[in-house]
Amino acid sequence: MGRLEGRVAIITGASRGIGRAVALAFAREGAILAVAGVRDQAALDSVQDELTALGAESIARLVDVGRRTEVDRLVREVEERWGRLDILVNNAGVLTLKRFEDITEEQWDETIRVHLKGTFNGMQAVLPVMKRQRSGKIINLTGPAALRPSNGVSDYGAAKGGIITLTFNVANEMKPHNIQVNCISPIADTRMTDAIAEFRGREGIPDHRPNPAPAETVAPAFVFFASSDSDYITGEVLGFHRK
């Protein structure tokens, strides 16, 4: 029996990269999955086919996490279909690389809307279900730019820093309800890391970042935080560092 046998999970940003890797890892551990992305239904359907091949029950839905009505609709569907909701992975994100003085108000608002507001929306939407169950696991995504200076990611870093603070506070409030809220800061080889490398090369900025690991190598950390192994861990930030 898998460590997530029969657990129901929502994973946002699941059409590729870390979200896809986490969905497949959860499926191997016996989870039931709702995978969400914002615009590429074909990519989501491909992930769902992979989940089905692993024997997992799943749905795949287009959801803009910055729109609360869409997040609420997904949560309602999950609860109506499976009668519970055990895990939320807030992974959806956007990245537009620009020097700070070139960031427009529109870009700033969109970055905050997807990352920080999207995480807020996800947590507020699932907490009523988890509180009724007296159990739940929430895993939020942050990034190295939240804790150390970088180039071209001022808006992204600000949003990810806000997610860490949000994680700390919600984890503290949810302790009486047996809901654990934690944060992971992965360094993984995704389209975002490729874009960062391209930006730094274009701008002539030395690239001293750690070499990103394949997305699959960070997935076990998500399984740990989603499983009963982490029942006594909340309000923590796990960072990945690889030379």
- List residues with catalytic annotation: 156
Instruction: Round to whole Å and give the CA distance between 227 and 225.
Output: 6
Q: Please give the structure tokens belonging to residue 96.
A: 């537009």
Q: How far is CA 33 from CA 81, 82, 203, in A?
A: 11, 10, 41
Q: What sign does the CA torsion over 223, 226, 231, 237 have?
A: positive
Say if residues 136 and 126 touch (Cβ distance below 8 Å): yes
Q: Please give the structure tokens belonging to residue 150.
A: 């970088």
Say if residues 123 and 179 touch (Cβ distance below 8 Å): no
Q: Please give the structure tokens belonging to residue 79.
A: 């609860």
Q: Which of 152, 85, 156 is nearest to 123 (CA)?
A: 85
Sheet holding 179-185, edge to edge: 58-62, 32-37, 8-11, 87-90, 136-141, 179-185, 237-239
Instruction: Round to whole Å and give the CA distance between 226 and 89.
Output: 9
